[in-house]
């Protein structure tokens, strides 16, 4: 099956009916367009024209009928292996994946897509836990028995007696494998069996399916997944379930002709970038509030009801209690553009933060660094409010793909800005 790799925002996949394997055919492009529409993905996130497909803000994996598409973040050198490692690290730091660096080094990053990697981690973890023992739980059962078991279901029993039917209507608890957790595992294993190409992963999935043979095949909706709870009896399966939930909840399927399903595991890069930066900031600041909601832009006269709640990405408190706001933007800015291409709406948003948060004197816009930004480090743009020079808006870029460099740059940004406030 054809596998295409594309860089988010920067590259496009050509559409052509030629035999060139680096293209989507017209039929595949139509299938992708149908999938995007049915799944309600952002219209400006998947741009499909007559000649090509560009992904904006989405990274991850899409499985179509006859091909798969992997969308990776931009890194220097345009190396897919490096892009996958960067993406895996961001997913790990952001809490989407629990994966150790040693596990990443064991994976064949150059040959495995993001879906294959998650499927590998899931089947490996689940197989290890199943070998220790299958999780069983008490499930409520109803049946017509010859002897009383549990308690008699009086309503059903009275109806049976009115109809002069033999047996006793009982309601009892059965200790069994067929429970919601195992049903979720079986659904995720089926998805892996259908979409995965790595033979060792499919073999592990098939083995685990045999262990869970008594579990029924169920449609695991988002609500059903959210209702699964953990306690001391099943806590060791919690990490396996997180991976299964990632596969199931983010991999919604849409049927295509012939019974084949399209599916995807997609992440929004602006959310992932924000969570990753929040993780790095927490290691270098005394206190970090994510999505602070303590201020509203306006309050209605009469009933004091607020409108337009402000939610800065990160409200950072320094050693002396001074505060700065750091707002991440997964957008491409360029040095050759006026004001580096910072959008007008972003200026207005930062202006609202500066004016509403009286204790905040520094607001920082943080963008991902790339080759279009000419910088030797430090602030790219620096403004202040008219008549209030202490109220500043600054623009920085960060080399997010190298975690050590990113930490150092963030530390310098925070020390510089919080330090200036101390003077």
* DSSP states along 316-383: EE-TTS-EEEEEE------TTSGGGG--HHHHHHHHHHHHH-TTEEEEEEEEE--TT---SSS-SEEE
- 194 is a domain residue: yes
The pLDDT of residue 421: 44
Q: What per-residue confidence (pLDDT) applies to 123?
A: 93
Q: Are 158 and 91 within one domain?
A: no
pLDDT for the residue numbered 259: 42
Same domain, 340 and 192: no
Q: Looking at 238, 269, 300, which one is the last position of a domain?
A: 269
For 309, the domain range is 283-422
239 and 122 both lie in a single domain: yes
pLDDT at 101: 57
Structural domain includes residue 278: no
Quickly state the pLDDT bin for 264 (edges 50, 70, 90): confident
48 and 195: one domain?
yes
Q: Is the pLDDT of residue 364 over 90?
A: yes
**Are 292 and 373 in a shared domain?**
yes
Full-model pTM? 0.79
More confident residue, 113 or 316: 316
Across 137-252, where does the E strand assignment appear? 137-145, 151-152, 168-176
**Of 147, 176, 205, which residue is a domain's last?**
176
* 42 & 108 share domain: yes
pLDDT digit string, tens, across residues 8-65:
988 999 999 887 778 999 999 999 999 888 888 888 899 999 899 999 999 998 888 8
Alpha-carbon span 347 to 33, nearest angstrom? 34
Percent of the chain residues topping a pLDDT of 90: 42
Contact 57, 268 (CB under 8 A): yes
Please tell me whether residues 119 and 14 are part of one structural domain. Answer: yes
Residue 277 lies in a domain: no
Domain-located, residue 254: yes
List pLDDT tens digits, range 216-233: 887 888 888 888 989 888
- pLDDT for position 416: 67
Q: Report helix, strand or coil for 84.
A: helix
Query: Tokens for 343?
Result: 């959008």
Is residue 257 located within the same domain as residue 289?
no
Using one digit for the tens of pLDDT, what is the confidence trace for 171-209?
Answer: 877 777 888 899 999 999 998 988 888 888 999 999 999
Domains of the chain: total: 3
- Reported as a single tens digit per residue, the pLDDT across 92-102 is 888 887 766 55
Instruction: Assess if residue 276 is contained within a domain.
Output: no
pLDDT of residue 253: 40
Same domain, 14 and 32: yes
Last residue of a domain, one of 176, 199, 230: 176
42 lies in the same domain as 96: yes
**Do 211 and 290 lie in a common domain?**
no
User: What are the structure tokens assigned to 141, written together?
Assistant: 């059962």
Q: What pLDDT is recorded for position 176? A: 79
Q: Flag whether 190 is in a domain.
A: yes
- The answer to whether residue 275 sits within a structural domain is no
CB 140 within 8 A of CB 129: no
Per-residue pLDDT band at 75 (split at 50, 70, 90) = confident
121 and 161 together in one domain: no
Q: From CA 215, how far away is CA 134, in angstroms rounded?
A: 11
Separation of alpha carbons 402 and 400, rounded Å: 6
Kindly tell me if the per-residue pLDDT of 256 is higher than 70. Answer: no
């Amino acid at each position: 099956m054809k596998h295409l790799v594309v860089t988010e925002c920067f590259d496009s996949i050509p559409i052509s009916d030629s035999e060139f394997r680096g293209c989507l055919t017209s039929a595949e492009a139509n299938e992708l367009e149908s999938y995007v529409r049915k799944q309600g993905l952002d219209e400006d996130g998947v741009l499909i024209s007559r000649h090509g497909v560009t992904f904006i803000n989405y990274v991850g994996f899409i499985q179509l009928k006859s091909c798969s598409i992997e969308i990776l973040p931009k890194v220097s050198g345009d190396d897919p292996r490096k892009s996958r490692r960067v993406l895996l690290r961001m997913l790990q730091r952001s809490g989407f994946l629990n994966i150790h660096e040693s596990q990443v080094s064991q994976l064949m990053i150059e040959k495995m897509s993001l879906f294959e990697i998650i499927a590998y981690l899931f089947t490996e973890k689940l197989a290890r836990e199943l070998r220790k023992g299958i999780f069983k739980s008490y499930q409520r059962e109803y049946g017509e028995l010859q002897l009383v078991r549990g308690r008699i279901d009086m309503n059903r029993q009275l109806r049976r007696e009115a109809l002069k039917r033999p047996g006793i209507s009982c309601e009892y608890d059965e200790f069994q494998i067929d429970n919601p957790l195992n049903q979720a595992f079986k659904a995720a294993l089926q998805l892996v069996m259908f979409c995965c190409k790595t033979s060792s992963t499919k073999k592990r999935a098939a083995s685990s399916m045999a262990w869970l043979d008594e579990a029924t095949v169920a449609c695991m909706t988002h609500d059903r997944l959210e209702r699964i709870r953990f306690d001391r009896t099943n806590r060791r399966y919690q990490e396996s379930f997180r991976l299964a939930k990632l596969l199931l909840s983010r991999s919604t399927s849409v049927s295509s002709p012939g019974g084949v399903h399209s599916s995807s595991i997609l992440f929004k890069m602006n959310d992932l970038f924000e969570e990753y930066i929040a993780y790095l900031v927490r290691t270098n600041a005394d206190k970090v509030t994510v999505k602070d909601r303590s201020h509203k832009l306006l309050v209605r006269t009469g009933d004091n009801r607020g409108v337009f709640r402000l939610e800065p990405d990160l409200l950072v408190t320094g050693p002396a209690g001074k505060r700065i706001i750091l707002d991440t933007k997964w957008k491409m800015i360029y040095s050759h553009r006026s004001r580096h291409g910072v959008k007008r709406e972003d200026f207005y948003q930062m202006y609202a933060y500066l004016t509403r948060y009286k204790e905040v004197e520094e607001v920082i816009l943080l963008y991902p660094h790339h080759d279009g930004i000419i910088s030797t480090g430090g602030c790219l743009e620096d403004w202040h409010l008219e008549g209030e020079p202490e109220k500043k808006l600054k623009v920085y870029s960060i080399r997010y793909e190298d975690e050590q460099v990113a930490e150092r740059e963030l530390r310098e940004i925070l020390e510089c800005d919080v330090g200036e406030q101390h003077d």
